[in-house]
Structures are given as structure tokens and as C-alpha cells.
Amino acid sequence: MSSKIEIICAGLGGQGVLFLGRTLATIMALTKRGNVVEFEFYSAEKRGNISIAEILYSKNGEDIFQTRVEKADYIILLHPKALIKTVRDTISSSTLIILNSSLKGYSISKSISCVKIPALELALKNSGTWRVMNMVMLGAFIELTRMMTISEVVAYLKKTMHGHAMLEANIKAVLAGYEYARNSLPSITRPNP
């Protein structure tokens, strides 16, 4: 089994994709033994166009020489429009897509492993705002992969967002996604990161 884990966070500008990617990569770098590289791709427009954060993580501290995700282990998909060719080309039979199921009218091929998370509904119910859907997805990712603990994520958010008006909403959203994945998705076979 490879000691490298490849992750893509994809969505539209304004959904917090880049914050999600940076948060995930930074926590991995601070709490795990290994190397982490994070790349961001986005258009010049601030909102509505495709945003992608790619994360490469070497569990054993091996150097990372590649500059893009080649074979995604995980794709956190906030919006279906972000499933563009460059993202689709990284999908393999072992890829797990963690999908924001709040958006209707699209589907993922049944041949691809996919977990659906109602991110919008969970964000609104638990935090009162749609702006933390990305953190709902992060919470679900944490529970599904067990690559880090929920306490590591909450501690990181408290440290980096100290005094920010959205701190409590982000924490509530991460916890909501984590609890949803833990309680509503019992049949998922969780990989050993």
C-alpha cells in the first residue's frame, strides 16, 4: 500500500474550497509525521467559478516530487460543476467521493464510491448559515477517513480564527458533519490512513 495520500477539494468560488484545503493540509502538517503539499487552482473571478485545492500527503515523511494529484484517494466535492476533466481524470476504482448532496439535479456514476452529505441542510440547522458547508464536509471527511481527530480540528480553528465572528459557526458545522458521518453512515468501510 502506498504511503502517499492524494486529496482533492473541489467546488465553486465562494464555497470555502480553498479554506477547506488549507485547513486540512495545515492540520495534517502540524499533527502528523509526514510531508504535506497543497496546491490551489482558481479563476480570476471571486465567486461562482471553479476552485480546487489539491493535497498530497506522505505518511512516512517521504519527499513529494509531484505537483498535482495523479490518482485521488479522496475527493471532497462541494459542487458538481467542479467535477471537470482534470478532477475526473484522477478518479480510480479506489477513489472515495464525499459529495455535497444538497444540490439536486446531478448524479455520480454508480461505479464510483460515493458518500452523500447534506451539507447545506446541516450547515443551516446547526450553524444558521450556508457559509460553513465546507466545514460540514470537513467534519464528515474526518470521521470517514480518521486521518485526524475532531479535537485537532476544533483546536486548530480556535487558534487560527480566535476572535473571528464565524468561529462558533465553523466549529458547530465541523461537529455536525462529523456526527452525521458517524451516526448516519455506519455501513461505510473506513480505510486505514
CA distance 155 to 163: 14
Q: Higher-confidence residue: 60 or 126?
A: 126
Entry pTM: 0.89
pLDDT over 90 percentage in the chain:
54
pLDDT grade for 163, boundaries at 50, 70 and 90: confident
pLDDT grade for 171, boundaries at 50, 70 and 90: very high
Residue 19 has pLDDT above 90, yes or no: yes
CA distance 30 to 83: 29
pLDDT of residue 109: 74
Q: Higher-confidence residue: 33 or 149?
A: 149
CA distance 100 to 26: 23
CATH says 4-184 is which class? alpha beta
Domain boundaries, the chain: 4-184
CA distance 185 to 156: 26
Could you tell me which of 141, 137, 170, 144 has the C-alpha nearest to residue 156?
A: 170
CB atoms within 10 A of CB 61: 10
Residue 45 has pLDDT above 70, yes or no: no
108-135: average pLDDT: 91
Residue 32 has pLDDT above 80, yes or no: no
CA distance 140 to 180: 7
- Axis crossing angle, helix 133-145 with helix 150-160, rounded to the nearest 10: 150
pLDDT of residue 46: 62
pLDDT grade for 123, boundaries at 50, 70 and 90: very high
